[in-house]
Amino acid sequence: MDQLPVIAVVVAAYLIGGIPFGWLVARMYGIADIRTQGSGNIGATNVWRVAGAKAAIWVYLGDIGKGAAAVAIARAVGQQTISRDLFLVVAGLAAVVGHVFPIYLRFRGGKGVNTALGVMLTLLPWHSLIALGVFVITVAISKYISLGSMVAGVCLFGSTLADRLFLTTDRAMIYPVMTGLLMLIIIWTHRSNLTRIADGTENRFSFASGEKKV
């Protein structure tokens, strides 16, 4: 019975993380299935390209919010079985896995970046803001959202590892482990983007979109 709160929160975090805001919002904007248009991804970037900026903003908020919500629920519930840091990290990772492999869409989800951002803003806000700044700079220079996401993931891992090894002694090692896993997830979900970047066929980000009205 002692394991019940841990299991329940992790399952809840996965189910929250799996809520396909990109798919749902796109439908509200007249897109029957966002997975059949643009890049085929349910993330905010593809929603921006296909349905417009207004739709994408709701997706950004939803995807970031569900990552933050998963951690907030874990904090609120609490438990005595495992360490608090490990509990929060597992809940956060469950939300990201839920986004990438949502049960609602037969495990075909997004790339996990915005949900990971919501998790990390809740757990390590300063590290997340640094990584977000690196993302913005990378995209501004390259015009590749995918490249910015991967570079930001590497930056997040590097900053938390440096923090643990060189700056503080009380930061749990589970945090650089977590950001290392997130970095690998983000790179893995962007593997096709890496191929297209190498081939010169990757779409460059533009504020223009194929906005559609309801």
Tell me: the pLDDT tens digits for 43-75? 999 999 999 999 999 999 999 999 999 999 999
| Alpha carbon distance 117, 123 (integer Å) | 10
**Domain positions in the chain:** 4-199
Tell me: the pLDDT tens digits for 158-214? 999 998 888 766 788 999 999 999 999 999 999 999 999 999 999 888 776 555 433
Neighbours of 5 (CB within 10 A): 16
Do 209 and 158 meet the contact criterion of CB atoms below 8 Å apart?
A: no
Do 96 and 115 meet the contact criterion of CB atoms below 8 Å apart?
A: yes
**Quick one: which of 109, 135, 121 has its CA closest to 69?**
121
Rounded to two decimals, the pTM is 0.91
CA 98 → CA 52, 64, 92, 200, distances in Å? Answer: 25, 13, 10, 31
Angle CA 114–118–121, to nearest 5:
125
pLDDT for 34 beyond 90: yes
- Mean pLDDT of the chain, nearest integer: 91
Do 197 and 203 meet the contact criterion of CB atoms below 8 Å apart?
A: no
Tell me: the pLDDT tens digits for 85-133? 999 999 999 999 999 999 999 999 999 999 999 999 999 999 999 999 9
Tell me: the pLDDT tens digits for 131-164? 999 999 999 999 999 999 999 999 999 999 998 8
> Which value, in Å, is the radius of gyration of the alpha carbons in the chain?
17
